[in-house]
Structure 1
Amino acid sequence: MTVVPGVGLTAAPRVKGWLPFGPYRTWYRVTGPADSGKPAVVAIHGGPGSTHDYLLSLCFLAEAGWPVVHYDQLGNGGSTHLPDRGVDFWMPELFLAELDNLLRRLDIADNYVLFGHSWGGMVAARHAARRPSGLRGLVVANSPASYVLWRQEMEVLRAALPADVDATLRRHEAAGTTGTNEYVKAMLLFYERHVCRLRPWPRDYLASFMETSNNPTVYSVMNGPSEFHVVGTLKDWSVEECLPAIAVPTLVISGRHDEATPVTVRPYADRIPDVRWEIFEESSHVPHLEEPERFGAVLTEFLASLGG
């Protein structure tokens, strides 16, 4: 059966609220039946420093019986904001601990699937490599396996931009003036080619984009001023070395025009033992929005193959 994203969602029950995470709070939402017996699909959004909004279309899975869990990672959206915390705080282990806390407090740690998008795919892979007993499957969507590879490939993609656009970007990056309107305008050309090719941008995607723009603490500290100028704490982070330890069936997704180029994604396909890689020909970084029907069919087929 092919489930089309966006159809029939009004019938799916929803629960939302906050979970304590140490002295902080993680905002979450669960859509779908709690008693279907199927594993919960936990969506880990990208960024870092984005929000769950652009992944809301995953709720289509609830119509076929999979509970879908969204949450906002610490520092953004409905979760606790901490604008005064610096580089020593915003580290990958913080978000791995937050994920563990979420699974435990929602009482789904014994039966779940992870769907990690972009940076969230790296978090999901690192979590999976620890071989938690309740993990049934893994989806790594539009995610690099290494920020070293990512930075190398950004140079390739930038070289294909109009020369005057790249010159503008580099001038502001060198001067430290990446907050100017001129830089942002030049940056958007890259985003329209390699992040979301739809016109206009879908409401859910725009919501997350604006949330990050309005509250850039996590993104700026961990990533930097833009997708293609990574100078934050993640600039050398990688999950390549842990991929052979992943012991669950894994679906890898990327787009033909993706900023997560095949070079950055290939380590997942080469190193995870039980893996399948699907490339979406008409998509960039968000195939769930750019090719929703095919995306729905591919994801539903993969989840059904896990049983439960």
Structure 2
Amino acid sequence: MEEGYIKVTGGKVFYKKVGDGAKPPIILLHGGPGGTHVSMRALEALGDERPVIFYDQLGSGKSDKPTDKSLWKLERFVDELGQIREALGLRSLHILGHSWGTMLAASYLLTQPKGIRSVIFSGPCLSAPQWMCDQIAHRKALPQDVQDILAKHEAAGTTDSEEYEAAVKEFNKRFVNRMEKKPEWLDTENAQSNKEVYLTMWGPSEFYATGNLKDFDVTSRLSEIKLPALFVCGRYDEATPATTEAYSKLIPGAKFHVFENSAHVGYLEEPDEYVRVVREFLREVEA
């Protein structure tokens, strides 16, 4: 295992490289915005065949946490990915993005970088308006009192209240992570999200987008991505199977897979199956 820091626009970011297999490396773009790489640790298992590159985006985890809010924009994160790739000499590689990481992956690929072997879109959000539409349906599945609490605080602008946050947890345990007992390491300091980054770019909750990504939509340009692609989501995912499959049809030849016992974080909820599906796809691409 190799760890270190890379200078990028705005500060330094932490990276970790696991595995020394001879096959092309894969770089992982974690969710958020403002999340960390920690929750994706199951993918270290791929290190027996190839290097697996984890990193905490600026503002997250072990990376620097500047207070300049102008840094929290999509274009800077796209540049950051290119800077990391250059620093590590990643000429040929695969990309796996999860959730917000799929927004980043798609935006990076639309700059037509060279040397990308394939892309995996995990729990994708490739249209913020479509995401919000899907979450309206999910909210209607919540108990009425929870729905009422959410609506009350969103109307009043009090989404930072404890009552609102408690109601959000009711949503999350149905559509984000259905595990009854979560791994203890998810509670460590380095695993905690940066709420300021999340709020600036997305908003107060998964289903209430008010940040600078609220109008993000690359669906009309997905056909420009001329790469082997895999789209995955959970059966109970906030990134719904119907929407994820629709995205997959916008990239010629793309594959689609549903994890039947997962919500949004299949690498936590079904780690062995998640790794199997990713491994199989990468092998097919390289065959």
TM-score by length of 1: 0.89
| C-alpha contact 1:53 1:207 (8 A) present in aligned 2 | no
2:138 pairs with 1:151: no
| C-alpha contact 1:288 1:295 (8 A) present in aligned 2 | yes
CA displacement, residues 63-122 of structure 1 (integer Å, 9 cap, x when unaligned): 2x2100000111111112123x23x432111110000000000001x1110010001012
Q: Corresponding residue for 1:25?
A: 12
Q: Corresponding residue for 2:82?
A: 100
> Which of residues 262, 266, 271 in structure 2 aligns to 1:287?
266
- The CA distance in 2 between the partners of 1:117 and 1:23, in whole Å, is 23
- Could you say what secondary structure the match of 1:189 adopts? helix
| C-alpha contact 2:38 2:191 (8 A) present in aligned 1 | no
2:107 pairs with 1:121: no
- Could you say what secondary structure the match of 2:192 adopts? helix
> Which of residues 45, 53, 75 in structure 1 aligns to 2:59?
75
CA deviation after TM superposition for structure 1 residue 264, in Å: 3.5
Aligned pairs (5 A) from 1:216-235: 216-235=195-214
CA displacement, residues 181-204 of structure 1 (integer Å, 9 cap, x when unaligned): 211111111000000000112235
- The CA distance in 1 between the partners of 2:244 and 2:75, in whole Å, is 22
Q: Corresponding residue for 2:163?
A: 182
**Which runs of 5 or more residues in structure 2 are unaligned?**
none
Q: Corresponding residue for 1:260?
A: 239
- The CA distance in 1 between the partners of 2:56 and 2:86, in whole Å, is 16
Q: Corresponding residue for 1:66?
A: 50
The 1:203/1:115 distance shift into structure 2, 3 A limit, reads: farther
Amino acid at match of 1:96: V
**257-266 vs 169-178, greater mean Cα deviation:** 257-266
Identity within the alignment, % = 37
Q: Corresponding residue for 2:112?
A: 131
CA deviation after TM superposition for structure 1 residue 178, in Å: 1.6
The 1:293/1:208 distance shift into structure 2, 3 A limit, reads: farther
- The CA distance in 2 between the partners of 1:153 and 1:245, in whole Å, is 25
- Could you say what secondary structure the match of 1:137 adopts? strand
- The CA distance in 1 between the partners of 2:196 and 2:231, in whole Å, is 29
| C-alpha contact 1:149 1:263 (8 A) present in aligned 2 | no
CA deviation after TM superposition for structure 1 residue 128, in Å: 2.2
| C-alpha contact 1:240 1:267 (8 A) present in aligned 2 | no
- The CA distance in 2 between the partners of 1:210 and 1:294, in whole Å, is 23
CA deviation after TM superposition for structure 1 residue 296, in Å: 2.0
Amino acid at match of 2:94: V
CA deviation after TM superposition for structure 1 residue 131, in Å: 3.0
Q: Corresponding residue for 2:222?
A: 243
- Could you say what secondary structure the match of 2:71 adopts? coil
- The CA distance in 2 between the partners of 1:20 and 1:120, in whole Å, is 20
Amino acid at match of 2:211: G
| C-alpha contact 1:32 1:68 (8 A) present in aligned 2 | yes
| C-alpha contact 1:222 1:232 (8 A) present in aligned 2 | yes
**Which runs of 5 or more residues in structure 1 are unaligned?**
1-13
CA deviation after TM superposition for structure 1 residue 207, in Å: 4.5
- Could you say what secondary structure the match of 1:278 adopts? strand
- The CA distance in 1 between the partners of 2:12 and 2:72, in whole Å, is 16
- The CA distance in 2 between the partners of 1:80 and 1:210, in whole Å, is 14
CA displacement, residues 128-181 of structure 1 (integer Å, 9 cap, x when unaligned): 233322101111000121001011111111011111001011111122222222
- The CA distance in 1 between the partners of 2:10 and 2:229, in whole Å, is 34
The 1:198/1:244 distance shift into structure 2, 3 A limit, reads: same
Q: Corresponding residue for 2:71?
A: 89
Q: Corresponding residue for 1:140?
A: 121
Superposed CA RMSD: 1.7
**129-138 vs 145-154, greater mean Cα deviation:** 129-138
2:74 pairs with 1:56: no
- The CA distance in 2 between the partners of 1:208 and 1:300, in whole Å, is 30
| C-alpha contact 1:54 1:206 (8 A) present in aligned 2 | no
- Could you say what secondary structure the match of 2:233 adopts? strand
